[in-house]
Every structure is written in structure tokens, then in C-alpha cells.
Amino acid sequence: MTDEILLGVDAGGTFTDFVCLELQPSPRLRVHKTLSNPVNPEQAILDGIAALGLDQLPESTRLHIIHGSTVATNAVLEGKLAKTALLCNQGLTDVLSLARQTRPELYSLEFSPRPPPVPESLCLPVAGRIAADGQETEALADEDIARLVDQLRDKDVSAVAINLLFSFLDDSHEQRLAAAIRAGCPDLFVSASSSVLPVYKEYERGIATWLNASLGPVVHGYLSRLQSRLGRALLQVMQSNAETMSAGSAAELAVNLLLSGPAGGLTALQFLGQQIGCKRFLSFDMGGTSTDVALIDGAISITTEGRIDRFPVAVPMVDMHTIGAGGGSIAYVDGGGMLQVGPRSAGADPGPACYGRGGSDATVTDANLILGRLLPTARLAGELQLDLQAARRAMAPLADRTGLSVEEVAQGIVEIANEHMARAIRFISVNRGFDPQDFLLASFGGAGALHVCAIAELMQMPEAIVPVHGGLLSALGMLAASQGRQFTRTVNYRLKSADESQLIAWFRELQADAESQLEAEGLRPEQLKAQWRAEMRYCGQSYSLNVPFENLAGAVESFRALHEQRYGYCLSSDTEIVNLRVNVHAERQDFDLPQIETQQGNEIEPLRVYGCDAAVTVRERQSLAVDESLSGPLIITEYAATTYVAPGWRVYIDAIGNLRLQRHGT
């Protein structure tokens, strides 16, 4: 019998995190953290595997890696995409350039023009046409296909995106083009909209298809290099919708990886919630470059209205709001003399000034070190040691410009970053009709626990939690994720005269497609579970709401209740189902986190923390006993993070190692 070791890997912009789960003879977790390598991201993963001693496993043990990566995200944000041609119907080659014609800056009379996603010279017209009823009104001739293939040979492109009108109703034209291009230009990565996102709205569908095509060679190359160096290890990749897929499928559907890493954090939080009996969380994941905030109300919310940079991404992804406020966010004084923080980041190289790697800009991490909330003697991943004097040197120019002390500027930086994060949390909670006090605030990421008490106070939330392994929570979430697929079909079906049996037939077709793909990845039919959902709206509306579908009457009731919660009203007018969505998944291998064992901690001298009258006690997290209650101010250190328990708060540790925070008087 083959033993299996599970390894969750979250390759972030600053650090790459590892959580290793050994199931035999009893569950055991090990963690590791190393600096990311932006130039050669797979090398950081190989280094971590070696550090954990997983590169020399016996033949009887199989390593199963579940990987969340920022390779796709960084390629979009940095513009490092493959040169891609776009094939559209005649007269519609400028669809991606025209976009939705919304102003990038609402109150700016003049703004710099933005280059189109695909240059005009690479937008090629396609003869043939499918009409809005799915009927062919103009045939696509073989000679037209041959002409396009010849044109592509002369364009020196690496990928091709095919986005034809109404291909979600009849994909025959797209599939004929794709097959001919693959045969005539075998080196090109080909992406057809009917395979990537078969829904209406040609602009959003086109952007998703173009992103998939232009990311394909980048992601395919990365995953191929990684898999070849991993040998016989099994590699799966986290999708943006918090489910995993095989590395081979991920290379073909790269657009589904844009929130790969952050999705793991929400999966871990939902998993932890099951163990502590909590279903409602407001979370903020504060890493080195950015902060991701999300709301979990029983289940992870999935949206098709996400964005990356200036582009809509209509593929299913976790409903998350991202801001440029991380530990590496750079502080500066603007032209009006105001102190600002982010969104520009020091990144992994050179990183904050206190990392001693050549960074000269003051960051949030530098501010926390100057305030005394980080231990100057702390050692970070990659054997980094914090340099307090370098942080103070970086902060000094800001102090000079503002006329404040270095400590006052550092305090201002932290407060500004806190307000940025609180505003983002309000956006995904209060703005959507939720009361934050009905939720538990969860902080994770390497920098989040330094800010958790302040964020809770800004949100008037009396309790918070810093999860066990909070500094590596996204990597833990990789282990808790299910393997699955989500399929979509546009129907635009009015419910006044709806035939429920027709809807059920469509759902079953989508479910059969998803099941066949998962079975091709080695899953057995009896492992698979399906969930049906419908995107609904009142007739005449532009935006839809996603509700569960068990039967038509229940879906309508759920839609009206959600519309009332989200917008404050519901109508008696006719509704329609815009899209059907089917999720088919296989449950993860079940495991429980082991209960903690209190260990002897090192004695650490109390720290002088700015704003506190007396020196602040420092404890190692491993030295805290279960249910031991301590009052702030207090600093709790651990391998991958530091928690600052502010005055007026108390903390205790539960049986599996979560830090539970409560305001005094609650």
C-alpha cells in the first residue's frame, strides 16, 4: 500500500509558503516558508521541498502537491503576456478595444489613452456568422479557414484567441477554426471562447478568452518545468473558485488561476470554521504586497464579476476585494503634503528597508518595526534578520517632510493602512446589507495579525481570530480544497412561461460534461457530487444574482430574498434565468488538525512599544497553554507571523491552536 504525503504550496509575491500533512501513522503538520523567486518561481518550490526533506521519499510514499500560484496574476499585472492574435466575426474585430466605453476616471475631463488588449494588426476578421437564435446565417468556408491559418503563420504570434458571436449557442465555427489552427500551426496555443466561457456578452467573453490565450504559454511553460523537476509527484493547481484541477487541465485553462493563492485562504478558513463551529467570517489576508478581504456566510461566495487590473474576468472566482495595502506597501508624502500608503509595493526584491536587501522606501513593515510591534531579533524566511536602523533611515525623509517624529510617521502609516483595510471590509459587508457584528473577524497572512485588533475596533467587532498557522493559511487551504469543475450555459429563459423540465435537462447536460472531465483526471463516478445554481434577474435588468437551484419555485424565492437583502427591495415583475451553473466536485481527503501541545518557550525581554506606558510582554505562541487567558498589550511571536494584542483586548488559545481575541467587556 502506498503512503501519501500532502503538500500545500502558496507561491506569493514575497514569500512561498508550505504546509506538509503526513497522514500516517497519525496526522502531523509541518510548515516552512521561503523567499519567493520572481524570476524563477519554481525554484522556490523545489527549495522548500528539499528543506522539508521531501525530495528523497521512498518508492512506497507518494508526494501529492496542491499548488496556488501568482504566475498568472503577475503576468497580467506586469504585462508579460504572450503575443496573441484575436479572431472575431467580420465587423467586430474592435470589440475588445471599444470595451464598455466607461470612463476610467469619472470626473477627469482628460486622461491618457490606454492601449487595446490586442493591437489592430493582430485582430483578424472571420467570415461566417451564427445568429442570435443559434442558426447559421453565413457559412464558414474551408478556403476562409485556410486563409486565416496562412495569415497566422505570418504574424509571429504565440497564441490565438477565437471569439465569435453566439458561439455559446453553436460552437461549430469556433471548433472548426481551432482544429485547423492546431493542425496548421501546432506551436500556437489556441483558445476558443466556447471552451473557456460559453456565455453571452461578447466583450466579457472575449476578454476571458484573450486572457486565457495570452496566459496559456506562460502558465504551460511554468507548470511543465515544475512538473518535470518534481518527478513522480502528483501536481494539482488551485483554481480561482477554490477548487483544484490537474496541472494538465490548468495549463489549458490559465484564466481560471488568477486568484489561485487567495482562494486557498478562504478554503482554509471555511475548513477551520467547521472545526470550531463558526460559519460566518469577515476575513482579511494581509501579505507582503496586498490585502484580500472576503465574506463567508456559510459558504465561500463565488462571483463572475471579478476584475484584474482594468479587465473584467467573468470566469467563476471567489468573491474577494483586493487592495494595495500589504506589509511591503510603500509610504510617501504626496504633492499636497499628505502622508499616503500604497498601492506601490517593495515586493520580494528588494522588499522593505528593514529586510536589509537594498530597499530604501519606508513600508508598513518598517513602521511596525519602529513602533516596537515586531521583534528586532526576529528571523524571517530566507534567514532574513530585521534591521531597525535601516527602517529608521528609510522613515527619516518622511518625518522631515511632515515635521513629525519618526515614530509619529510610523504610527500614521499603520493607521492609514488600517483604514484602507477597514474601508475594503465595509465594501464587502455593509455595502451589501450585512452587519459586521454578526461575523467573526479572521486575520491571516504574514502581516495581518499585527493589525487585527485595530481593524476590529474600526469595524466595531467585539471578537476576532488569528487562525493556527495564520501566516501560511493559504497553503493550509490547498490541503482542504476539493477537486472540481464549474460549467456554465447561457439560456436567457423567462420564467413566466418556463418549462421546468427543460431547465433540468440543461442542468443534466452540463453535469454530464463536468463529470466526464473529472473522470478523465482519474476520479471515480461515485466520488462526484453536483450542485446546481442559477443566475437570475428581473427582466430588463443588466446584472444578475446567483442562487441555488433545486426546483424553480425555490430558486425564485431565493432570488427575491437575496435581491431584498442586497438592494433593499424586490419586485413583482417577471424574472429570467440568464445562466445555468453546475459545480461537480470530489470531496477532499478528510482530516482533522491535531490538538496542540504546549512547549517550553524561550524567555524574551519585554519590548518598548510606542504608545504604551510600560514595556510589553512578549510570548512565543508555542508556549501558550490551551485556554490560557492573557490581556493586552501583548506580543505573540511564531514562525511565520507576529500578533499584536492591543490594550483593551484579551486573548486565549483554543485546543487546535487558534488565537481567540475579545475586547474587554464583551
pLDDT tens digits, one per residue of 541-554: 888 899 999 999 99
Nearest 5 degrees, angle CA 309-CA 311-CA 314?
120
- Residues in Cβ contact with 388 at an 8 Å cutoff, skipping those fewer than 6 apart: 354, 369, 370, 376
Using CA of residue 550, residue 553, residue 559, residue 565, what is the dihedral sign? negative
Q: Which residues of the chain have pLDDT under 50?
A: 1
Give φ, ψ of 637 to 5 degrees. Answer: -105, 155
Using DSSP's 3-state secondary structure scheme, residue 624 falls into coil
pLDDT digits (tens, 9 = 90+) for 384-431: 788 999 999 999 999 999 999 999 999 999 999 999 999 999 999 999
Whole-number pLDDT of residue 1: 44
Q: What is the biggest distance separating any 2 CA atoms in the chain, rounded to whole angstroms?
A: 83
In contact, 54 and 76? CB cutoff 8 Å: no
Whole-number pLDDT of residue 348: 67
In contact, 399 and 409? CB cutoff 8 Å: yes
Q: Which of 139, 124, 141, 142 is nearest to 87 (CA)?
A: 124
Q: How many CB atoms lie within 10 A of CB 414?
A: 23
* Distance of alpha carbon 239 from alpha carbon 483, whole angstroms: 9
10 Å CB burial of residue 272 (0-12, 13-18, 19+) is buried
* Distance of alpha carbon 151 from alpha carbon 144, whole angstroms: 11
